[in-house]
């Protein structure tokens, strides 16, 4: 077991709590940086996709995992980000600016969504955001002059100056830069008053209010930041998809995003990343499953959403804290090796606070 | 100097008059206890002062400021902190983070400082941390600093909640049954802690309490409340011997 001797308040606000963490995260970064030198193009593309999912996951984690606001409409922000980015890219605006515009525009829409969404909590909020994503999908398919409607929209190739970002290797590095800065920014949020206000709102609105936290402001900012991250992910995702259509951002994607944060582990940034890895490998696993199932089952049209649903329910029942929660248990098993007791992590009966009558 | 004054405060929920024409005033540095049978309107009174509920009529004046149009989250900024009867802590956070939340009203950083954790945010965190440490020392919470609230016993949670309220550096703190769920020994300690808060931090205390022993030891004056009305205000002994109070408790 590791005991950290603290001699200084700085130790509490540092991102890396001890030397071991610095060592391991540096190793991770080095491995990620070295991947392009020995992995094939296909795997780099898949990894870039996982990074993009991770950015969206971080966005949704800040909203759902930390502020306790469930959103079933995050695919809409992904769509808004993707369409805005490729629209401005098409106008000849440079990559970085166009991406920034799409982040800001998604945040703005997130802020606007927050205004009505503040009045509802829990399941009602989930339904409200679901409605929002349907509205966005309709706008995307009918605002033909901008989005091209059902014909779709070709995403221009990304480039900075003369450097094309299209090759998988370059795009991999672009995504790596964005995912690491997203992690850094969200860590900063979480260790500052805003992050604490968010968890306070999640755990008890009434006492958050009595501690001087402006509920409306905190929730609105959470929505804006979350939408911004998801918009960024959308902008990057546009290049992976190549050709945007309104139904690329439907309910199934929203559910996938929610699945990602729940399976990864609500209330931890690690969870968002683990969830992204999980979602990234899921299509391959499903394809394998389809191949091995009897013909009759493999051709069922709604197989994928059905399996998503099954996984979600299974995780909620057997490991509500997701992959990260399981990892914590495994870690403490090794830390306390001969003395580990199962009951350390025995779950108490839990009620969702937002569902309480007030 | 008067720190808190209620004038003819009334509120009703449907046909129930929860608080009816309640008037009292509280001096700075005073420990004032509210006693009364169940359903007397004690917690409602707290919710009125912290603006969780709005008054139907009357007025609440804190530190020469009329609270009628103040939104609930502004109350803390004015200098009123409170605790809750069944504790309303942020359960999945450590004790330390709960205490740091108390400092929230003193945050001067904007979103930009926080997104990039600029120097200003960093310095502010250090100040908050030091402030939290002072409260940890005052309430002897050292050994629980990094424990999550979910794994703490109720007595400690109560204490953490008082600590969180104190981190706000308030002028007035509202304690809702601080001794409920505490064992006799912890209740004894509470008397000294209340004295410390009053003497060392110069904070006025308004508390709801059922333990008459604690009330008479810790408080300067006592208000007896029944059915939303004030029965009597005075020294603990006088209130306990007041015929109306005895009638309210014994029927």
Measured over the CA atoms of residue B81, residue B86, residue B88 and residue B91, the dihedral's sign is: positive
Q: Among partner residues B104, B105, B115, which is closest to A185 by beta-carbon distance?
A: B115
- Closest to A32 in 3D by CA, of A210, A173, A174, A131: A173
Per-residue 3-state assignment (H helix, E strand, C coil) for chain B: CEEEEEEEEEEEECCEEEEEEEEEEEECCCEEEEECCCCCCHHHHHHHHCCCCCCCEEEEEECCEECCCCCHHHHHHHCEEECCCCCCCCCCCEHHHHHHHHHHHHCCCCHHHHHCCCHHHHHHHHHHHHHHHHHHHHHCCHHHCCCEHHHCCHHHHHHHHHHHHHHCCCCEEEEECCCCCCCHHHHHHHHHHHHHHHHHCCCEEEEECCCHHHHHHHCCEEEEEECCEEEEEECHHHHHHCHHHHHHHHC
* Rg, C-alpha atoms of chain A: 21
How close are the terminal C-alpha atoms of chain A, in Å? Answer: 43
Q: Among partner residues A192, A203, A207, which is closest to B121 by beta-carbon distance?
A: A192
Q: Where are the domains of chain B?
A: 1-79+170-251, 89-168
Compare all CA atoms of chain B with the CA of A348 and give the residue at the minimum distance: B150
Query: In this structure, are A24 and A115 located in the same domain?
Result: no
User: Which pLDDT value is given to residue A87?
Assistant: 94
User: Which pLDDT value is given to residue A151?
Assistant: 86
Contacts of B124 (CB under 8 A, 6+ apart): A193, B107, B108, B109
Question: Are A211 and B76 a contacting pair at CB < 8 A?
Answer: yes
Compare all CA atoms of chain A with the CA of B97 and give the residue at the minimum distance: A196
Q: How many structural domains does chain A have?
A: 2
- For the stretch B4-63, pLDDT in tens is 999 999 999 988 889 999 999 999 999 999 999 888 889 999 999 999 899 999 999 999
Portion 205-264 of A in contact with B at CB < 8 A: 206-215, 221
Question: Are A13 and B126 a contacting pair at CB < 8 A?
Answer: yes
Give me the interface pTM, i.e. the ipTM. 0.90
Query: In this structure, are A244 and A150 located in the same domain?
Result: yes
Portion 291-350 of A in contact with B at CB < 8 A: 348
CATH of the domain at A212: 1.10.3470
Query: In this structure, are A51 and A12 located in the same domain?
Result: no
Least confident residue range of A120-124, A232-236, B108-112, B118-122: A120-124
- CA–CA dist B71, B76 (Å, integer): 10
- CA–CA dist B133, B138 (Å, integer): 9
The yes/no answer on whether domain B1-79+170-251 falls in CATH 3.40.50.300 is yes
Least confident residue range of A3-7, A155-159, B66-70, B137-141: A3-7
Q: Among partner residues B109, B116, B129, which is closest to A193 by beta-carbon distance?
A: B109
Question: Are A197 and B104 a contacting pair at CB < 8 A?
Answer: yes
Is residue A358 in a domain?
Answer: no
Is residue A352 in a domain?
Answer: no
State whether residue A12 sits within 8 Å of chain B by CB: yes
- CA–CA dist A83, A158 (Å, integer): 14
Query: In this structure, are A2 and A89 located in the same domain?
Result: no
Question: Are B73 and A267 a contacting pair at CB < 8 A?
Answer: no
Query: In this structure, are A159 and A74 located in the same domain?
Result: yes
For residue A19, the Cα-to-chain-centroid distance in whole angstroms is 28
Is residue A350 in a domain?
Answer: no
Query: In this structure, are A3 and A106 located in the same domain?
Result: no
Question: Are B88 and A204 a contacting pair at CB < 8 A?
Answer: yes
- For the stretch A18-77, pLDDT in tens is 888 899 999 999 999 999 998 888 889 999 999 999 999 999 999 999 999 999 999 999
User: Which pLDDT value is given to residue A1?
Assistant: 61
Query: In this structure, are A74 and A184 located in the same domain?
Result: yes
Residues of chain B in contact with residue A10, where contact means CB-CB under 8 angstroms, are 126
Chain A nearest CA to B208, separation (Å): 17
The predicted model gives B231-236 an average pLDDT of 91
pTM recorded for the entire structure: 0.90
Chain A nearest CA to B232, separation (Å): 29
Query: In this structure, are A84 and A44 located in the same domain?
Result: yes
The pLDDT of residue B120 is above 70: yes
Question: Are B81 and A210 a contacting pair at CB < 8 A?
Answer: yes
- CA–CA dist A218, B82 (Å, integer): 21
- Closest to B228 in 3D by CA, of B29, B62, B20: B20
The first and second tokens of residue B13, run together, are: 């929920």
Residues of chain A with pLDDT under 70: 1, 344, 347-358
Residues of chain A in contact with residue B81, where contact means CB-CB under 8 angstroms, are 210-211
Chain A interface test: which of B125, B146, B171, B172 (most A C-beta within 10 Å): B125
Q: What is the largest CA-CA distance in chain A?
A: 67
- For the stretch B74-105, pLDDT in tens is 999 999 999 998 888 988 889 999 999 989 99
Chain A interface test: which of B114, B148, B163 (most A C-beta within 10 Å): B114
Query: In this structure, are A9 and A105 located in the same domain?
Result: no
Query: In this structure, are A102 and A7 located in the same domain?
Result: no
Determine the structural domain holding residue A27 and report its residue range: 1-35
Chain B nearest CA to A215, separation (Å): 8
Is residue A355 in a domain?
Answer: no
* Rg, C-alpha atoms of chain B: 19
- CA–CA dist B85, B236 (Å, integer): 22
Compare all CA atoms of chain B with the CA of A214 and give the residue at the minimum distance: B73
Percent of chain B scoring above 90 in pLDDT: 56
Query: In this structure, are A241 and A260 located in the same domain?
Result: yes
Question: Are A199 and B90 a contacting pair at CB < 8 A?
Answer: yes
Query: In this structure, are A25 and A57 located in the same domain?
Result: no
Residues of chain A in contact with residue B90, where contact means CB-CB under 8 angstroms, are 199-200, 202-204, 207-208
Chain A nearest CA to B96, separation (Å): 10
Is residue A351 in a domain?
Answer: no
Ramachandran angles phi, psi of B207, nearest 5°: -130, 145
Chain B nearest CA to A185, separation (Å): 5
Chain B interface test: which of A210, A328, A332, A351 (most B C-beta within 10 Å): A210
User: Which pLDDT value is given to residue A354?
Assistant: 47
């Amino acid at each position: 077991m590791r005991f950290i001797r603290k001699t200084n308040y700085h130790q509490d606000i540092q991102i890396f709590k001890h030397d071991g963490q610095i060592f391991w995260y540096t190793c991770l970064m080095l491995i990620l940086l070295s991947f392009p030198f020995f992995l094939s193009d296909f795997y780099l593309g898949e990894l870039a996709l996982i990074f993009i999912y991770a950015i969206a996951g971080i966005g949704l984690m800040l909203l759902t995992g930390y502020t306790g606001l469930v959103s079933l409409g995050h695919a809409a922000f992904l769509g808004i980000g993707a369409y805005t980015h490729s629209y401005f890219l098409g106008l000849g605006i440079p990559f970085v600016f166009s991406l920034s515009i799409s982040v800001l525009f998604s945040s703005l829409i997130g802020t606007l969504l927050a205004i009505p969404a503040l009045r509802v909590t829990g399941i009602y909020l989930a339904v409200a955001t679901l409605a929002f994503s349907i509205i966005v999908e309709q706008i995307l398919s009918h605002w033909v002059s901008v989005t091209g409607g059902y014909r779709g929209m070709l995403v221009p190739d990304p480039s900075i100056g003369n450097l094309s970002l299209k090759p998988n290797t370059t795009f991999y590095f672009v995504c790596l830069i964005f995912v690491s800065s997203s992690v850094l920014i969200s860590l900063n949020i979480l260790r500052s008053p805003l992050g604490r206000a968010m968890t306070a709102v999640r755990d008890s609105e009434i006492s958050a209010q009595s501690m001087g936290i402006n509920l409306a402001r905190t929730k609105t900012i959470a929505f804006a930041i979350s939408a911004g991250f998801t918009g960024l992910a959308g902008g990057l995702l546009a290049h992976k998809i190549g050709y945007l259509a309104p139904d690329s951002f439907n309910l199934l994607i929203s559910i996938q995003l929610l699945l990602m944060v729940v399976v990864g582990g609500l209330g931890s940034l690690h969870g968002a990343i683990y969830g992204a890895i999980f979602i990234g490998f899921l299509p391959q696993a499903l394809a394998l499953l389809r191949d091995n199932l009897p013909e009759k089952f493999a051709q069922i049209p709604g197989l994928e959403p059905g399996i998503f649903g099954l996984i979600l329910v299974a995780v909620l029942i057997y490991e509500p804290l997701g992959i990260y929660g399981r990892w914590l248990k495994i870690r403490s098993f090794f830390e306390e090796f001969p003395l580990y007791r199962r009951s350390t992590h025995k779950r108490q009966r839990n009620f969702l606070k937002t569902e309480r009558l007030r | 100097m008067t720190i808190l004054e209620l004038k003819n405060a009334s509120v009703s929920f449907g046909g129930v008059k929860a608080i009816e024409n309640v008037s009292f005033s509280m001096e700075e540095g005073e420990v004032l206890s509210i006693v009364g049978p169940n359903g007397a309107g004690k917690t409602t009174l707290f919710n009125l002062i912290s603006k969780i509920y709005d008054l139907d009529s009357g007025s609440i004046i804190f530190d020469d400021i009329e609270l009628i149009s103040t939104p609930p989250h502004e109350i803390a900024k004015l200098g009123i902190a409170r605790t809750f009867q069944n504790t309303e802590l942020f359960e999945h956070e450590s004790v330390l983070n709960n205490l740091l939340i108390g400092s929230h009203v003193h945050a001067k950083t904007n979103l930009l400082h926080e997104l990039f954790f600029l120097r200003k945010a960093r310095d502010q965190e250090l100040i908050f941390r030091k402030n939290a440490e002072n409260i940890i020392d005052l309430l002897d919470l050292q050994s629980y600093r990094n424990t999550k609230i979910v794994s703490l016993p109720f007595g400690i949670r109560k204490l953490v909640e008082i600590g969180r309220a104190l981190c706000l550096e308030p002028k007035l703190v509202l304690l809702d049954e601080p001794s409920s769920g505490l064992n006799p020994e912890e209740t004894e300690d509470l008397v000294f802690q209340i004295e410390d808060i009053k003497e060392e931090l110069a904070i006025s205390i308004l508390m709801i309490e059922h333990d008459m022993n604690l009330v008479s030891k810790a408080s300067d004056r006592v208000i007896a409340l029944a059915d939303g009305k004030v029965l009597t205000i005075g020294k603990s002994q006088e209130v306990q011997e007041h015929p109306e109070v005895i009638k309210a408790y014994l029927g």
